[in-house]
Amino acid sequence: MKTSVKKKLLGNVSVSKDLTLLLTIGGLYALAIALSNTFVNVYLWKQSGEFRDIALYQFACALIQPFAFYLAGWWTKRVDRIVVLRFGIAILSLFYFAVLYIGEQASSYLLLLGGLLGVGFGFYWMAFNVLTFEITEPDTRDFFNGFFGLLSSFAGMVGPFSAGALITLLPELTGYHVIFAVSLLLFLAAVFLSLRLSRRIAKGAIRVKQVWKRRKEDTSWNGILWAHYFQGLREGIFVFVIVLWVYTASGSEMALGTYGLITSSISFFCYYFVSRLIKKEYRKKGIFIGGLFLYAAIFLIIPEPSFTRLIIYGIIISAAYPLLLVPYVSLTYDVIGRAWNAAKMRVEYLLVREFFVNGGRITSIAVFLIAVSLWEAQQVIPWLLAVFGAGHFAMYFVIKGVPLTNSSPSDTSPQNPVLKPDNEGENPV
């Protein structure tokens, strides 16, 4: 009976102990971030009331992340990546302590706070990505991506709604203290669980330049990198503009939490079904359809960003994101897994990928900062959303030529067709 229930929930997937632990750690992190990070932009906005200030905060975060990723990658090559994971969580904890300690003067330290958050994200995600790279196998890639998206969506339901309720019911600063205390406990639980993960140490020097040059010989790798750049173009400004629009349209943290509850509930179920039903041969179709809906939804809110329209927009993108991201992430790691010398240089491949993602974010936020300094924010923001919102749709056109087979286009050596772990069965997600 127990096996039957597990099979119904997970499908015909063999789930290892480390994979389960990694999913749990990712879920705890997602819940901690959903509780605390969702309202940081609003917290800063209430102090300054300027889109430019929030953009500066996000710009500092995006600008520092590539350097943090590089340092984390260098450390990962010399120290157990579990230590890197814990360090990233510690820095994120320090960030929230700093926001609370600085209090009403937080808007005066936007670059510092953004940089601190960027360091925390860089270290955490480098370690998490490498661990994902090593623990998942070809048959579990779509399952892991889908189930992790499901956990993130669940956190997106519980976190913002609970946070909004607490901020509404309690005096504002007290509500933030309670939220952070819960997030800190979740971070500590993630660190404790990380102690049970098997150690996997990658040795050697960082050779980013070699992987960077592979773009010229490996067209699949080049396509994936440009897809990540386009992904970053949209993420750069959408990550804060939509949240602020929802808040300003409603004037309530509780309404923002409700928005998160509705959209994440839909995403929760969509991630589950997409991860169960998506097949390798349909990955590109999923990316195309998901990207198309993500772009089309923008034109619903550009004319009038009312709360009702934003809710409808949120519903559409919540269904579209799983359709795009589950096959897209799997395709990305498939390309890395069969790339030249991937077994020894997985860290470098992840680093170069992050350079392109953050390059896209930096580009769109920089353009945003220039635009709002020249024109009224309310007039220029719709145009910026229409242009940079096409990022996810554009992804399809640079990856449509990427083969779905497991054969490597750039290295046919039988030694490295896919990643081989130190312990057995390690493949990219």
Q: Is the pLDDT of residue 27 over 60?
A: yes
Instruction: Place 119 in a pLDDT band, splitting at 50, 70 and 90.
Output: very high
Instruction: Please tell me the distance from the alpha carbon of residue 199 to that of residue 384, in angstroms, as a whole number.
Output: 45
Instruction: Place 411 in a pLDDT band, splitting at 50, 70 and 90.
Output: very low
The pLDDT of residue 147 is: 80
Average pLDDT over residues 140-149: 74
The pLDDT of residue 138 is: 66
Higher pLDDT, 141 or 57: 57
Average pLDDT over residues 281-299: 91
Q: Is the pLDDT of residue 289 over 50?
A: yes
Cβ partners under 8 Å of residue 310, min gap 6 = 242, 245, 246, 249, 259, 301
Distance of CA 356 to the CA centre of its chain: 14
Instruction: Place 142 in a pLDDT band, splitting at 50, 70 and 90.
Output: low
The pLDDT of residue 363 is: 96
Q: Is the pLDDT of residue 424 over 50?
A: no
Instruction: Place 5 in a pLDDT band, splitting at 50, 70 and 90.
Output: very low
**Cβ distance 161 to 258 under 8 Å?**
yes
Instruction: Place 201 in a pLDDT band, splitting at 50, 70 and 90.
Output: low
Distance of CA 410 to the CA centre of its chain: 28
The angle, 0 to 180 degrees and rounded to 10, between the axes of the packed helices 51-76 and 377-388 is 40
The pLDDT of residue 114 is: 92
**Which structure tokens are listed for 216?**
């010229």
**Cβ distance 114 to 64 under 8 Å?**
yes
The pLDDT of residue 135 is: 77
Instruction: Please tell me the distance from the alpha carbon of residue 376 to that of residue 45, in angstroms, as a whole number.
Output: 17
Q: Is the pLDDT of residue 426 over 60?
A: no
Q: Is the pLDDT of residue 310 over 90?
A: yes
Amino acid at site 205: A
Percent residues over pLDDT 70 in the chain: 87
pTM for this predicted structure: 0.83
Instruction: Please tell me the distance from the alpha carbon of residue 190 to that of residue 25, in angstroms, as a whole number.
Output: 5
Q: Is the pLDDT of residue 186 over 60?
A: yes
Instruction: Place 428 in a pLDDT band, splitting at 50, 70 and 90.
Output: very low
Domains of the chain, each with CATH number or no CATH: 15-399 (1.20.1250.20)
E strand or H helix that includes residue 429? none
Q: Is the pLDDT of residue 234 over 90?
A: yes
Kindly provide the b/e burial profile for residues 318-339, where b requires at least 16 CB atoms within 10 angstroms of the residue's own CB: bbbbbbbbbbbbbbbbbbbbbb
Instruction: Please tell me the distance from the alpha carbon of residue 161 to that of residue 265, in angstroms, as a whole number.
Output: 11
**Cβ distance 292 to 316 under 8 Å?**
no
Per the prediction, the chain carries an average pLDDT of 82
pLDDT of 154-178, one tens digit each?
787 888 888 888 888 887 677 877 8
Taking each continuous run of H as one helix and of E as one strand, the counts in the chain are: 17, 0
pLDDT of 317-339, one tens digit each?
999 998 998 889 888 878 888 88
Amino acid at site 251: G
pLDDT of 210-221, one tens digit each?
888 888 888 889
Instruction: Place 410 in a pLDDT band, splitting at 50, 70 and 90.
Output: very low
The pLDDT of residue 150 is: 76
Instruction: Place 346 in a pLDDT band, splitting at 50, 70 and 90.
Output: confident
Instruction: Please tell me the distance from the alpha carbon of residue 214 to that of residue 236, in angstroms, as a whole number.
Output: 26
Output the DSSP codes for 369-411. Answer: HHHHHHS-HHHHHHHHHHHHTTHHHHHHHHHTTS--SSS-SS-
